[in-house]
Amino acid sequence: MTKVSPDDEWSDSSIKRYLSRGPEHVSHNAWYISVVGFYLFLVPNLIMITIGAFSDAVFRWIVAVIILSARCGEPLCLAWAWWWYMFIGAVRLIARYGKSRFTMFTRSRAIMGGGDWWWHAEGAWGCSYEQVRSTMASDQRRRPAFGAADTCVPELFPKKMMLFIDGEEWRSVRGVFEANLSAETNWEPRVADLRGVLKPFMPSPCTLSTLTKEVSDKMVTVAVWFLLFGVKLTDAQARTAAQWGASGMAGYFVFPRLIQRILFNKLLAQVRQLRTDTLGIARSHGLQPLFERLHDEIGRPYRSESALALCDELMYAVNFAGVGGTQHGCWATLRFMQRATADISPGDVTFPTGSMLELYRRDPVAFIKETVRLDAPVTSATCVFKEARDIAFDVSCCGGTPVSHHVADGTLHQYVLSVANRDPAKFEAPNTFNPSRANLDEMLGWNGTIAGGAAQYPRFCPGQKLAIVVIQTICSLLQELGDTAA
């Protein structure tokens, strides 16, 4: 067999071939015959979706059917429930919850009894501080799932991306990623040049009113790529890579295959093009040797199929998590300076009296941490129950107190950081913005507590310090703040 040369491996045709592979693990409700059924019964479907979107009783009943379907392997005969449920959720998020994930979580919790658990998609969602913290501190089991639903691999996500793998495979890949890219010793020497790299992208004058979401997202993208890879993105490249965030295509990732197919795979096609363009950016900056070296360092049996595949997998970590998460953190920080919010409703935060800018100047890092506690970039994460257990929530039509439900091992488990960070059992006045709170470093952000870090939380974000440096550096360019750089 002829060995593929590195140049051929990174060619346009190789990238296209790599990103054009067929789907894996297609559930029955996502078969194309189910999609045909959705359109055949479009009118009654729209009626039920409208009713369920505004009737909590009907919504709870449909959730009960969804739980039954999930326990039975999602048979085709119950596909109708998924048609209704998926679109009811989307309408509720947009029309009733103002696109706020946090509001959707708190309302779902209230609708299903107001306890520490509720059900969404294919899994149970938990939100008490101690339950979420202990899950983060454990050696989690993962699988290709997002938002407590099995997701589209390899069309939307690469199967072996770090978000989905666990055990020794995850530790091996993460170890190589940290040693070569995310360790502070690798990027810290570049911090001194970061302001100069960002200045061509800043508005003139650079103020809270002129630094828009689009510009902020682009600057975060440029900063993350520069610190991690030492490359300077062009304006066009920054605009492309910025699309990994919530203002771009990150919102498409949560939709399971059924919704993607009902929408004629148009969203999948856009994400595939983004992956193609991102690989092109890496190639244009000559990063191929870096990923070929990382590919060799991982070694068998956990090595990806090629250096190109590894690049695609790690680009999710860098762009979806690193860029997208930091974009939200930066924008939320800028919004909080103006007594406004990013993902949550302004009514969900009690701001202190006095100058928010002076509060930031007093301790920029604490200001950023408290912002992330209240308006989280990563609101929840998916793992798998290792053991069967009983949890309580309510899915009765009339509504009532939570009742016990048995959850089998292997069921998807979503732990909800954004709600846990407002647990009154842990945080005094949990909805109040208070950067000086004594236990601030116990907030659940970056997949663990800052107080515990990677020593206590195996999946603690390796880019936590980098993210804060990026946010602080961008804020330091504001005329209202002067030099408050990291």
- Identify whether 8 is part of a domain: no
Q: First vs last Cα of the chain: how many Å apart?
A: 53
Query: Do 377 and 100 contact (CB within 8 A), yes or no?
Result: no
Give one DSSP letter per residue of 281-299, joined into a string. HHHHTT-HHHHHHHHHHH-
Residue 391 pairs in a beta bridge with 405
The confidence band for 2, taking pLDDT boundaries of 50, 70 and 90, is very low
Question: Which residue in 373, 374, 337, 354 sits closest to 481, CA to CA?
Answer: 337
Take residue 287 and report the two structure tokens written for it: 């990063």
* List of residues 6+ apart from 20 with CB closer than 8 A: none
Please report, for the domain that includes residue 373, its CATH number: 1.10.630.10
Dihedral, 363, 337, 104, 38 alpha carbons, nearest 10: -120
What is the model's pLDDT at position 9? 86
* Inside any domain, residue 259: yes
Q: What is the C-alpha separation between 395 and 393, in angstroms, rounded?
A: 7
Structure tokens, 176 = 């190589």
Q: Which structural domain range is residue 438 located in?
A: 155-382+419-475
| Residue 182 belongs to some domain of the structure | yes
In this predicted structure, the answer to whether residue 7 has a pLDDT above a threshold of 90 is no
Give the integer Cα–Cα distance in Å for 159 and 311: 13
Cα 146 from Cα 127, distance rounded (Å): 17
- The answer to whether residue 246 scores a pLDDT higher than 80 is yes
pLDDT band for position 34 (cuts 50, 70, 90): very high
326 close to 371: Cβ distance less than 8 angstroms? no
The reply to whether 269 falls in a domain is yes
- As given in the structure block, the two tokens for residue 290 are 């870096």
Q: Is the pLDDT of residue 372 over 50?
A: yes
Point out which residues pair with 414 in neighbouring strands: 125, 382
pLDDT surpassing 90 at residue 399: no
- Look at residue 40 and tell me if it is in a domain: no
Residue 188: its pLDDT value, please?
97
Smallest Cα–Cα separation from 113: which of 101, 97, 102, 124?
124
Number of domains in the chain: 1
Please report how many Cα atoms fall inside a 13 Å half-sphere around the Cα of residue 296, on the Cβ side. 5
pTM: 0.95
Residue 224 included in any domain: yes
Give me the residue label for tokens 């990382």. Answer: 294
For the segment 112-142, what is each residue's pLDDT rounded down to a tens digit? 999 999 999 999 999 999 999 999 999 999 9
**Is residue 484 scored above 70 in pLDDT?**
no
Distance CA 188, CA 369 (A): 20
Distance, CA of 181 to CA of 174 (rounded, Å): 10
Q: What are phi and psi of 304, to 5 degrees?
A: -70, 170
344-353 pLDDT, tens digit per residue, is 999 999 999 9
With cut-offs at 50, 70 and 90, classify the pLDDT of residue 68. Answer: very high
pLDDT score, position 8: 80
CA distance 342 to 428: 23
- pLDDT reported for residue 3: 47
Q: How confident is the model at residue 35 (pLDDT cuts 50, 70, 90)?
A: very high
Burial of 74 per CB tally in 10 Å (0-12, 13-18, 19+): buried
**Mean pLDDT score, 435-458:** 96
Rounded distance between C-alpha atoms, residue 290 and residue 382, angstroms: 30
Using the predicted structure, report yes or no on whether residue 258 has a pLDDT greater than 50.
yes
Q: Note the helical H segments in 55-180.
A: 56-71, 79-91, 101-111, 129-137, 167-177
Please check whether residue 305 lies inside any domain of the structure.
Answer: yes
Question: What phi, psi does 63 have (nearest 5°)?
Answer: -60, -40
Q: 198 — phi, psi (to 5°)?
A: -80, -25
Take residue 484 and report the two structure tokens written for it: 């408050």
In a domain, 16, yes or no: no
Task: Please say whether the beta carbons of 440 and 451 come within 8 A.
Answer: no
Mean confidence (pLDDT) of the chain: 95
Specify the DSSP element, H or E, that contains 242: none
Dihedral angle of Cα 123, 126, 127, 131, to the nearest 10 degrees:
-140
